[in-house]
Structure 1
């Protein structure tokens, strides 16, 4: 349910809380998967034909990369397949956040393996075929830069909405962001490898190759921790969007006789939030009237309002109302 097509929070309503770019993001993911698979096959075949272990190794690395992208694509598929399944209380928007969290764990594991292999190479150096390794690193960099360009979110498409003070990641598609960080991590690895291999070829400093691997592992770990934090907060219904909470309070408490007693807000999809509000008021307005006051908040997609009458409310109107 997008804000552009919603004028109220009427019942019944759909529970489709996807990003406005959900279909486009899924297509972009499949494009990157196709590009990765083509590169993987080319490197494995070339490695077998030319007897290059460097090409073979990078080809199999591309296979793991395609698998990670497959997790992203699978999340989009299942979110779309079960979008109308009422067993998902607030829709399937969080499937993307779950996939993003899982991808962040995979990213952390990759960083750990990189660090382990790099330390092992420092302690037990191996001969490096610099020319072939540089060619593979450059090829990997080109593919990953193209993939990163395809997957990069447009961070400006939401800047015009009405609570700009919130954290920008409130509207991120964390599933797509996880895929983006995967290819960015590979691109960083390729850049560091090119620098280390070039210096190693010219000056014979072969130790720089594993050193750069450790540096890359530390950077990737930092990215992974950041994504784990963002997706983990969403999965635990943590809300740090104080701007949205302030807007809801300001609009509902615009009347002197109405107070927000309890307010719960959580993210249910990229750019979509749900809210449960308990009001104490002497107003004769019903819950639907109060919900109408919130309709212009673009990122608020699902609202429940409970009205608790004040003690001095006129006789015969006591009672609790919710909708």
Structure 2
């Protein structure tokens, strides 16, 4: 198997190194999320409420990264969980998408309703809280920046925080417009923009989670190309029962049956096939079954 035996691989090891930074960012954003939500209710600001909802995505995203790191660290604790607990991250992502879709729809409906008669908003407290949210996101951005280059989990949390910086800036702009011009429509307009920003990202998150759960091939991999590459390995005359799927973010897995030419050296073919999957497609865990060409019906029939 070579590199394929290390399920977590470099991604998990990199994430472990930055675990403390993740916890710091998680605590900081969780505290500000609560402050923003309470302030939104007190000030009547829909834009601030939508920003709190988006900060909720940041907190969940970082929480999922921490859960994935913890699960990977305990993957070998139970022999009955042969793939560890990596799917917890995917289930959390799907739950996150469902919740966020509901929040985004509520914000959009409420924003449209407020266009008819925008309510009075306490713009001063709204501005203060939005500024605090911006500072919190800047701090979290700095905490996660280094790890984002090494771990896909940290990269996802990093991008969430980066996007929330823009949302906080939008709320600040809305508060300033209300303070200096009295233009009350600024609040629902910013809320509408944030809601429209969240929806497509939520859709992509949920779609990715569902693809992983139904074990579809990763979108960036073409299964026909993988099959062709394996068939090109010296000594392989046929490739069948090829399956490629994602275990969790950054962990692609493959299995295949390889029919060998007469006289082919099994160890050499396996090494070349694993190298091809690893080097060309970044698939580090693959289970390959080899079958002599002279053995008819070695695989047996399948009905699925």
TM-score by length of 2: 0.74
CA 1:308–1:132: 2 relative to 1, 3 Å: same
Report the 3-state secondary structure (helix = DSSP H, G, I; strand = E; otherwise coil) of the residue aligned with 1:294.
helix
Q: Are the equivalent residues in 2 in contact too, given 1:111–1:217 (CA < 8 A)?
A: yes
- Give the alignment partner of residue 96 of structure 2, picking from 98, 103, 107: 103
Match of 2:247 in 1: 268
Kept in 2: contact 1:16–1:83 (CA 8 A): no
Of the three residues 170, 174, 177, the one matched with 1:192 is: 170
Question: Relative to total residues, which structure has the larger helix share, 1 or 2?
Answer: 2
Could you say which residue in structure 2 is the equivalent of 1:80?
73
What is the alpha-carbon distance in structure 1 between the residues aligned to residue 296 and residue 129 of structure 2? Answer: 75
- The answer on 1:53 being equivalent to 2:61 is no
Q: Which residue of 2 aligns with 1:307?
A: 290
Summarize the Cα distance change of 1:29–1:137 in structure 2 as closer, same or farther, 3 Å threshold. same
Q: CA deviation at 1:115?
A: 1.9
Q: Secondary structure at the match of 1:300?
A: coil
What is the CA-CA distance between 1:233 and the residue it aligns to? 1.7
Deviations 1:121-173 (A, max 9, x none): 3344322222222122111112123223434586655xxxxxxxxxxxxx833
Whole-angstrom distance in 1 between the partners of 2:220 and 2:123: 50
1:280·1:309 contact (CA, 8 Å) conserved in 2? yes
1:18-97 superposed matches below 5 A: 19-20=11-12, 21-24=14-17, 26-37=19-30, 39=32, 53-54=42-43, 61=52, 68=60, 69-70=62-63, 72-97=65-90
**Structure 1 residues 152, 232: CA separation in 2 closer, same or farther (over 3 Å shift)?**
farther
Change (3 A) 1:150 1:233: farther
In structure 2, relative to structure 1, the CA distance for the partners of 1:22 and 1:245 (3 Å cut) is farther
**Contact 1:43/1:56 (<8 A) preserved:** no
Match of 1:215 in 2: 193
SS at match of 1:217: helix
Q: Secondary structure at the match of 1:117?
A: helix
**How many aligned positions are there?**
289
The alpha-carbon distance between structure 1 residues 223 and 205, as it changes in their structure 2 partners (threshold 3 A), is same
Question: Structure 1 residues 250, 40: CA separation in 2 closer, same or farther (over 3 Å shift)?
Answer: closer
In the other structure, the counterpart of 2:2 is 7
Normalised by the length of structure 1, the TM-score is: 0.71
Partners of 1:234 and 1:222 in 2: CA distance: 18
Task: Give 2:208's aligned residue.
Answer: 230
Question: What's the secondary structure of 1:275's corresponding residue?
Answer: strand
Deviation at 1:188, TM superposition (A): 3.2
Cα RMSD, aligned residues only? 4.0
> 1:188-226 CA distances to partner (integer Å, 9 max, x unpaired)?
332221122222222221112111101110111111112
Q: Is the 8 A contact 1:72 1:99 kept in 2?
A: no
**For structure 2, which runs of at least 5 residues remain unmatched after alignment?**
300-304
Give SS of 2:11's match: coil
Deviations 1:89-132 (A, max 9, x none): 33333322322232233332332232233234334432222222
